[in-house]
Copies of this chain bind each other. A is one copy, B any other.
Amino acid sequence: MIRERHLFGPGPSNPYPEATRALAEPLLGHLDPEFLRVMDETCDMLRTVWGTENSRTLPLSATGSAGMEAAFVNTVHPGDVVVVAVNGLFGQRMTDVAARCGAEVVAVEHEWGQPVDVERVLAAHDSPAIIAAVHAETSTGVRSDIAALGAGKGDALLVTDAVTSIAGIELRADDWGVDIGYAGTQKCLGVAPGLAPFTINDRAFERRVEKPQSWYLDLGMLGGYVGEAASKGGQRTYHHTAPTAMVASLHAGLTRILDEGLEAVWTRHQAAGDELQAGLEAMGLELFAAEGSRLPELTTVKVPEGVDSAAVRRELLERHGIEIGAGAGAYASTVWRIGLMGRNARPDAVLLVLAALQDVLGTSRG
């Protein structure tokens, strides 16, 4: 039996139908001229959703967390100071990943649910090699001001996690001074999980580690297959077998998004998030993320006193085929995460998840 789910958690979301269909199209080899065209167009469209002109913009052949690893493993030289803004699980993860790459990590801790305190992060060290922050914290549903970090970064490189922001909310890597960015396909891009859209500018590439610890994520080597050399018509160098079905699917998802219009897609996410958050408050529920910093695509809401968080999620899944997320870390049983991302950022999804929550909570307040 095939189970159908409404994927209203923190990701994956239900893919755009175009992205699903592309997965099942006839497979191409990774060196087929037709596939290379698909790959080049995918990189072009990724540049648009990143808001960048970086020639080195590509989908890494692994999930978003590998994008985080690629960011640090290619740029952290032993002993480099890396200032990390930690306002949730993914900021925490950055400290672990950067430390494994040999960084001297300066973690700037925040209360979860709060946005990054830009002044505190910028004041944390005199001359960091890297400043790193999460644009949209998937663990808390909070948006932070990347542009302000970019404006104040000085000589540091700015690493930005855009896993849950890309193609959902405004993202302008070049304008904001983002030097290195990574994302995932399974959130607002509306594609299955499996690829990490990645971008790095010349400034960061020039400071890169010559021979990083990771062969698989070595951007110097990957550049022979995609990116600048390749797009200039040079010979492609085989590095590893690209996941061709997934890239074709990302191509289809991006085409769909750009056909609709990137700003229209942002507006659609904002509208769905606004309606959902208003509806939850109207039900008497309390939102978790700090007001003014709430992501539209991922809403965090406190589990009401006396309610069994896991039982509600199980009921939603079994009775209505709806997946929502538990909270992360210390908030596992006290917060829910409701994502309306990509295809799901639309009014009928808002109505459905509100109605289903009311049904399961038994709190219909017509």
Residues of A within 8 A of B (CB): 2-5, 7, 9, 11-12, 14-15, 20-21, 23-30, 32-34, 61-66, 68-69, 73, 93, 96-97, 100-101, 184, 186, 192-194, 211-216, 239-246, 317, 323
Contacts and interface: CB of A to CB of B under 8 A. Distances in A.
A20 B65 CA distance: 26
Nearest to A28: B5
Contacts of A63: 61-62, 240-243
Nearest to A321: B26
A243 to B, nearest CB: 4
A2 B22 CA distance: 10
Contacts of A192: 27, 243-246
12 contacts: A12-B29, A12-B241, A14-B26, A20-B24, A23-B24, A61-B62, A61-B66, A93-B215, A192-B244, A193-B244, A194-B194, A194-B243
B23 A64 contact: no
Contact of A30 (B12, B100, B212): B12
> Main secondary structure on chain A at its contact with chain B?
loop
A24 B252 CA distance: 13
Chain copies in the assembled complex: 2
A30 B23 CA distance: 18
A12 to B, nearest CB: 6
Contacts of A24: 20-21, 23-24
A61 B243 CA distance: 11
A186 to B, nearest CB: 6
B27 A15 contact: yes
Nearest to A215: B97
A60 to B, nearest CB: 9
A317 B33 CA distance: 10
Nearest to A328: B238
A27 B25 CA distance: 17
Contacts of A33: 317
Contacts of A73: 213-214
B5 A32 contact: yes
A146 B116 CA distance: 53
Looking at A62, A186, A239, A242, the one whose CB has the most chain B CB atoms below 10 A away is A62
A25 B2 contact: yes
A213 B24 CA distance: 36
